[in-house]
Amino acid sequence: MRHTLPLAPQFYVTAPQPCPYLAGRMERKLFTALQGENAQKLNDSLSKQGFRRSQNVLYRPSCADCAACLSARINVDAFRATRSQRRTLNRNDHLERRATSAWATEDQYDLFRRYLETRHSDGGMADMDAFEFAAMIEETPIRTRVVEYADGETGALTAVCLTDVLDDGVSMVYSFYDPYMKRNSLGTFVILDHIDIAIEAGLPYVYLGYWVPGSSKMGYKAAFSGLEIYSGGEWRAMTNAAEYSAKRHPLCNDPIAEQVANISLPDTRPTQPIME
């Protein structure tokens, strides 16, 4: 039994389970715990290498015979809103943004339930109760904010995004919104507003999670200009979404040991004082 935390993070792989994005495929995830005084540095570093956070765990897809999931982020300097996106901003100019600490509320949970029951009733979160929802929001060892959007006149909560603050951007961990306001394109609006948040904070990127070519659930991410995709160990500007296809060859992924060996970890050694 281990009684002390290891000096370096330990990586593990989940058992195969049905893929939520591509029918007939199985998924595995490579993951590590996010804990201790160096949690923020680890999250910053691994987020730049295609990892995502879920509570106090960092993970990225590591499937045996598929490499379709591609981590995506928006370079805010390269982003230019389309006419449709500008209309979305105008339709939602009555919403007021408020950023709070990572604390769950009943209003958030009620909105979350309406969103799931309408949009993702058969998804993995469909059975999440209030306690599990609170854990998703509150169990974070890093700089996390809950960004709420409420009607400026009625105060009604309309959209919510759980957002991590990285050293080079903001990471949209999970967002949900009023499913009955379809005309407002709230999912797109929340991303557009996070681009503004990054600009206001002087941060160059908005991390969106995974884009999966061939998955209708993830297609909306390709509509944003300035999109970059993490592939082959580096971020590359996506110039044409049609050029990307799901990689489904049994030899398309490196062995787990090689994947772990190629992960760059942050320097967590204490700074030594300069001796004169």
Query: Listing from the earlier edge strand, what are the strands of the sheet with 11-13?
Result: 11-13, 29-33, 57-61, 52-54
Cα separation, 108 vs 188, whole angstroms: 19
Can you list the domains of the chain with their CATH numbers?
73-211+220-228 (3.40.630.30)
pLDDT band at 90 (very low <50, low <70, confident <90, very high): very high
Pick the closest to residue 163 from 189, 194, 195 (CA basis). Answer: 194
123-150 as b/e: b if 16+ CB within 10 A:
eeeeebeeeebbebbeebbbbbbbbbbb
- For a pLDDT cut of 90, what percent of the chain falls above it? 66
Residue 160 reports pLDDT greater than 90: yes
Residue 271 reports pLDDT greater than 80: no
Cα separation, 69 vs 252, whole angstroms: 12
- Residue 52 near residue 60 (C-beta atoms within 8 A): yes
User: Could you give the count of Cα atoms lying within 13 Å of 235 in the half-sphere of its Cβ?
Assistant: 15
The pLDDT, as a whole number, for residue 77 is 98
DSSP letter assigned to residue 140? -
Residue 124 reports pLDDT greater than 70: no
Residue 3 reports pLDDT greater than 60: no
Geometric angle at alpha carbon 194, from 191 and 196, rounded to 5° = 120
- Residue 118 near residue 126 (C-beta atoms within 8 A): no
Instruction: Dig out the tokens for 235 from the structure.
Output: 């971020």
- List the alpha helices (DSSP H) in 13-120: 39-47, 83-91, 106-119
- Residue 76 near residue 206 (C-beta atoms within 8 A): yes
The pLDDT, as a whole number, for residue 4 is 45
Query: Considering the entire predicted model, what is its pTM?
Result: 0.90
Pick the closest to residue 238 from 229, 249, 251 (CA basis). Answer: 229
pLDDT digits (tens, 9 = 90+) for 179-206: 999 999 999 999 999 999 999 999 999 9
Beta strands, E only, the chain: 11-13, 17-18, 26-27, 29-33, 52-54, 57-61, 70-75, 95-101, 144-151, 157-165, 169-177, 205-211, 227-231, 234-237
The pLDDT, as a whole number, for residue 269 is 60
Find tokens 């958030």 and name the residue: 108
Cα separation, 249 vs 67, whole angstroms: 8
For residues 85-113, average pLDDT:
97
